[in-house]
Structure 1
Amino acid sequence: MRPRLHALAMASAALLFSLSTHAEPVSDAADPASPEVRNTLDQVVVTATRGAKALEKIPGAVSVISASEIAAQGLVSEDPSALLAVQIPGYAPARQKLTNFGEGLRGRNALLLLDGIPQTNPLRLGGREGYFADPMIVSRIEVVSGASAAQGLGATGGIINTLTRKPTQPGTRQTVELRYGSQFHGDSDAWKTGYMVEHKSDFDLLAYVGLRSQDIGVDGTGRPLATESLHQAADGFLKIGKDFGDQRVQLMINRFHADGFDDRVDVSGNRATGLPTTSAPGKLPYDAPRNEVRSASLEWTHADLAQGAASVQLFKQDFSARYSGGVIATFQDASLAKVGTLVDQSEIKARKWGLRASWVRPDVWTPGLELTLGADYLDDESQQRLTQTARTWVPPMTYRSLAPFAQLEYESGPLTVRGGLRDERSRLQVDDYRTLAFYGNQAVQGGERSASKLVKSLGAVWRFGSSGWSSFVAYNEGFGSPDVGLILRAVNTPGRSVGTLVDLQPILTDNREVGVAWRGARGSVSASVYRSHSDLGSQLVVSNGIGSLQRVPITVRGFEISGEWRPDAAWQLNGSYALTRGRTASAAGGSLDLDLGARSQGPDKLVLGGRWQPAPAWSVQWTQSVYFSRDANIGKLAGKVPLDERFNGYTVADLSVSWDSPWGYLGAGVENLFNRSYLTYYAQANYSGTADDYYAGRGRTVTLSWRRSF
């Protein structure tokens, strides 16, 4: 982008401050129209770094998306990726699909959690992990930007921990929510019904059930959108807990199911002429795409165990994702059908369980010194099969890890210093298997791979007296796995074994960051500069629709600024800006001669917004997202594969109005207010894109909502 535009974007972001870094703490039942929600600047306590800690005392870029911000965004769209794209500066644009390829955080993968339960599947990262809970059960989202090992495997780009509600008011409370949305054109209606009951006495309980239906919709020109998007979803949630003095026991169960379309087929677009992929009514020759996620945890906490706070969580998660199918070259097998006629589709299945334990003791040995000890265990089994012919594409993989960790933190007046070590010990086991006919039916000998990494973190925060200013410096390492499934399924030479596939070596990423922040009575601002590097990263190269991994170094540099300003009680202005520059190598051990591609890195992004309260019960919110143009790797090749990526950029605006009326909380939201016709970032920039995935963004959509508690 031209320097003048960069300067303008940075100046705008510096003047308009956003909520993303210093969001307000709110009750689980808060409405975004509430003045108490908008104007509170109490201390924000987060748990994403393994222990309750005030936000301003954490060395690093840690953000909180509050209940009010989730509710306000929900008036416009309940797409979880859209919420993250608006609230988190380094998060890439939403694809608006079931699949979230290209939705990285600071050019890398983020570890998604639900109440601390891992939702991502690093052994076979299929890009379907974004949908796992209904927004109505969410109380807040904590985001750690940059590599981190605090929550275990997979957080090379950061941690996104979604925390669910729990009852806060004595007695029993019921809430009903209804939504209707439409583009008033074509097949575009959307409905949602949700019911929640909360109870708090000598025990607390929260239960929720919700159903959602969404038609295909149209783009800004009225053309039907392509499929591979959410069509129907259902969520059932239960959380029950009881306190026993200083101890608490809590059970959480969540089941989220999402279906794609089974009555529409895609119509290919044309990249040369700019015609996007659309869809038309039709019968699929395979099963409809779907996601199903089941999460459960049993947690015990003790507020005063040996003068410290202890917690133990036993969790389990089952995940399945079925993709669109068809006559796909990779799935052809002459022994089953004539080549070019065999219809098939794939499905990823993953089952994991684990144990997380920690103990935090303040003032150990000396006042101001805090000790944290703990250990994590994870058992993950993943595979990918072809559903129509019951063939194995990715063999069953068993991953087990044990990671004890320790951390010391010392606070003295305005200074907080923190350092930690985590000993990641992991083992991957795969039995003998045979690849598909496309790869030559190669027999691959099974085996084990093990790894041990001592992952480090070190940081400090300095608070400048009562001025509201603070600064931090941080070094954090993250421990990740390459997409093992992609490596194993693509073996096309004889005589290979799991034990000799050196590409299974883990990814160790370090993040170095320096930042400043200010928090005052009328606003806040924060800014940071970071460098993230991995000697042995993981990059996917696609040729003729076939993906293969290259283990090459990756360096990402970036700048982020965000904040808010409240000129008076009725107005709140906010904004954020993120600049991301990722580089990688065209060959292992080579120089950084390539730009990081759209599968990992988003474009530079400016988000501006404002909220106006014309009356105590009324609220109006405006958000404008600007994604700047980006050209990458023009004229560069990977072998014979062109790597050119071109993105023209686009701007979209959203508007919402809410009224806390005597009859309930009423809301109206308009997504893509000016009905902008645009092609989404990943659809434009993905160098391996085809005429079948040239996706347009959703056109103007109006959503009406009503919620009442009694």
Structure 2
Amino acid sequence: MPEQIIIRRSLEYGRQPGTYGETPTAATSTGTLPPKNPGTDNIVGQVRYEHTDLLGSEVSAQAYVQDFKTYYGYSTFFPGGGQPLIESTKYGLRLDATTPLGWTQGSQLLWGVDALRDQTAQPLADGRTFAPEMTQASAAPFVQLRVPLAERLTLRGGARYEALSVDVVDFTTLRPQFDTDGDGTPDQRNDVEGGTLTYDNLAFNAGVVFTVAKPVDLFASFQQGFAVSEIGRVLRSTVAESVEVLNPEARTVNSYEVGARVATQSLTASATGYYTTSDLGSSYGSDFEIIRSPEHVYGLEATTDLQVIDPLAVGGTFSWVKGKRDADDNGSYETPLPGNRIPPEKITGYVEVTPLDGWTGRLQLLYSGSRDAFPSSSAYAKGEVSPYTVVDLSSRVDVGPGALTIGIENLFDNYYFPVRSQYPALDDSYTPGRGRNVTLSYSVTW
């Protein structure tokens, strides 16, 4: 089933960088406009086949393709300024089967394989390379076992083996990496020979769910993860002469999770605590270089939705996360992770009323907290984050064959800076959030 989405913004004003923490960026008719209008072209197609009983198993197969391109805004983050974009083409295949085992009622084995080819590049619109073109090919067979024991206990466990290769083209780093005149400032970019990197990993997971009473479950799980998503970051600031000499290591993560959930006709709620560790984390240094070091991240998440009475529902979420790394590899985790990795605490809440059939109104709130993990630093991703609150209002009414929706974003016209404009500590991204914004739409589904 093909789908094409095209989003474009026509800009008449450029962005005048401000001063981080003092003066926000401003729109100006004399500012630098990007050569391409920011926006996204996204074409997706997929074919799916399902068979409910093929040799005793329920089988499904899915093939998909995605052609994706997105243009961002102009930024002085790049030497001489520039407009970044991402171009990506993906081809994927997933085959999976669910086979009943007959050990206990509901016991089953899920097994199959994922395959992917992903060609991605991150140039600037003027032709310079930010991150080189990389083509990843991977295949990953997996098995997942589910075994209910009695009425209250369910065990889960599985394994996934992943083998992949990454082909990287020759490229020249965007930022200078070598100091040739001895003044302490890099002034020469690095030419890097491409090559092929290969990785493989066997990851395991295990979990248990215990039903305390009919609506209340307790759960715990362990899961291993494997990713090579940091290769682009490492390559774009490398001083190595070739990709194969550099050979950036893949990142493996061990995750532990415990929690409880409740589900009744009127109430659904959950609370989860998690802890993740990695021997090879990835963070930015003071000069945008990549630092690989052991790290751990831990946090709490909670959600609730309650139907108070027939026309009234309330709910909300809470998230809190902390993370530190072992900067000197002495076994002591003392250095906080930067703001692009660790956000401040966040609370959301809503009140929803359905006074009549076909008419729903919703008032929702977002509170984002503060974080000042690097009080004496002005380096990238180490900026102080101040708290803010935003309230939105929306109403949806069935009209004719469709629905009329009115939404008011930032109902009280609060002046604030989103987290993404505070933590980078950059002059050209210190941009306030949108003021009160009203939208009116009519949609028809057929």
Question: Is TM (by shorter chain) over 0.5?
Answer: yes
- Is 1:578 the counterpart of 2:326 in the alignment? no
Q: How has the CA–CA distance of structure 1 residues 264 and 401 changed in structure 2, closer, same or farther, with 3 Å as cutoff?
A: same
Could you list the per-position Cα deviations for residues 15-59 of structure 1 after superposition, in whole angstroms to 9, with x for gaps in the alignment? Answer: xxxxxxxxxxxxxxxxxxxxxxxxxxxxxxxxxxxxxxxxxxxxx
Equivalent runs, 1:671-710 vs 2, <5 Å? 671-687=409-425, 689-690=426-427, 692-708=428-444
8 Å CA contact 1:550, 1:588 repeated in 2: no
* Equivalent position of 2:182 in the other structure: none
C-alpha distance in structure 2 between counterparts of 1:421 and 1:581, whole Å: 28
More contact order relative to length (CA 8 Å, sep ≥ 6): 1
Aligned equivalent of 1:295: 44
Which residue matches 2:406? Answer: 668
1:709–1:558 CA distance, 2 compared to 1 (3 A): closer
Determine if contact 1:636/1:643 at 8 Å carries over to the other structure.
no
In 2: Cα distance, 1:665 partner to 1:437 partner: 51
Out of 374, 378, 390, the residue aligned to residue 112 of structure 2 is 374
More strand by share: 2
- Judged with a 3 Å threshold, the aligned counterparts in structure 2 of structure 1 residues 560 and 329 are, in CA distance, closer, same or farther, namely closer
Other-structure match for 1:498: 243
**Alpha-carbon shift at residue 281 of structure 1 (Å):** 3.2
AA paired with 2:304? G
Say which SS state the counterpart of residue 79 (structure 2) adopts. helix
Q: In 1, are the aligned partners of 2:377 and 2:383 still within 8 Å (CA)?
A: no
Matching residue within 464, 484, 496 for 2:212: 464
Partner of 1:315: 64
Question: Over residues 283-326 of structure 1, what are the superposed CA-to-partner deviations in whole Å (9 max), with x where a residue is unaligned?
Answer: 73623333222221122111111111111111111222333347
Equivalent residue, structure 2, for 1:597:
338
Instruction: Name the Cα RMSD after superposition.
Output: 2.5
Q: Secondary structure at the match of 2:435?
A: coil
Please tell me the residue identity of whatever aligns with 2:289. Answer: S
Counterpart of 2:66, as a letter, is Q
Amino acid at match of 1:407: Q
Pair 1:525-2:261 in alignment:
no
**Residues 383 and 485, structure 1, Cα contact 8 Å, conserved in 2:** no
Is 1:517–1:525's contact at 8 Å kept on the other side of the alignment?
yes
SS class of match (1:330): coil
Superposed CA deviations along residues 50-100 of structure 1, whole A, max 9, x for unmatched, are: xxxxxxxxxxxxxxxxxxxxxxxxxxxxxxxxxxxxxxxxxxxxxxxxxxx
Residues 265, 434 of structure 1: CA spacing in aligned structure 2 closer, same or farther, 3 A cutoff? closer
- Counterpart secondary structure, 1:508: strand
Q: State whether residues 381 and 423 of structure 2, in contact with CA within 8 Å, keep that contact through their aligned partners in structure 1.
A: no
User: CA separation in 1, counterparts of 2:7 and 2:38?
Assistant: 9
Rounded to whole Å, the distance in 1 between the matches of 2:281 and 2:309 is 48
Distance 1:295 1:681, change over 3 A: same
Secondary structure of the corresponding residue to residue 660 of structure 1: strand
Is 1:485 matched with 2:232? yes
TM-score (norm 2): 0.89
Structure 1 ranges of 4+ moved more than 6 A: none
Post-superposition CA distance 1:528-577 (Å, at most 9, x none): 1111111111112353xxx3211122211111111122221111111221
Percent identity of equivalent pairs = 29
Note the alpha carbon deviations across 1:387-411, whole angstroms, 9 max, x for none: 32x3444332221111111111101
Partner Cα distance (1:327, 1:678) in 2: 23
Distance 1:709 1:498 in 2: 50
Q: Which residue of 2 aligns with 1:400?
A: 137
Q: Where does the alignment leave 5 or more consecutive residues of structure 1 unmatched?
A: 1-251, 332-342
2:13 to 254, 259, 264: 264
Specify whether residues 305 and 698 from structure 1 end up closer, same or farther in structure 2 by C-alpha distance, changes over 3 A only: same
The alpha-carbon distance between structure 1 residues 285 and 600, as it changes in their structure 2 partners (threshold 3 A), is closer
CA contact (8 A) 1:659 1:666 kept: yes
Q: Report the Cα offset of residue 265 of structure 1.
A: 0.6
| SS state at 1:632 partner | coil
On the 8 A contact 1:553/1:589 being kept in 2, the answer is no
Which structure has greater helix proportion?
Answer: 1
Counterpart of 1:452 in structure 2 is 200
Q: Name the residue aligned to 1:278.
A: 26
Q: Secondary structure at 2:281's aligned position in 1?
A: coil
Tell me whether 652-661 or 677-686 shows the greater mean CA deviation.
652-661
Shift of 1:438: 3.1
Are the structure 2 counterparts of residues 541 and 290 from structure 1 closer, same or farther at C-alpha, using a change threshold of 3 Å? farther
Aligned residue runs from structure 1 range 125-204, under 5 A = none
The alpha-carbon deviation at position 363 of structure 1 amounts to: 3.1
User: Does the residue aligned with 1:646 lie in a helix, a strand or coil?
Assistant: coil
Q: Give the length in aligned residue pairs.
A: 434
C-alpha distance in structure 2 between counterparts of 1:568 and 1:680, whole Å: 35
Q: 1:553 aligns with which of 282, 287, 294?
A: 294
Counterparts in 2 of 1:542 and 1:347: CA distance versus 1, 3 Å: farther
Equivalent residue, structure 2, for 1:442: 190
Deviates more, 1:256-265 or 1:660-669: 660-669
| TM-score (norm. length: structure 1) | 0.57
Distance 1:574 1:272, change over 3 A: closer
- Deviation string 1:350-404 (CA, Å, 9 cap, x unpaired) is 222121111111234554320111011111222233432x344433222111111
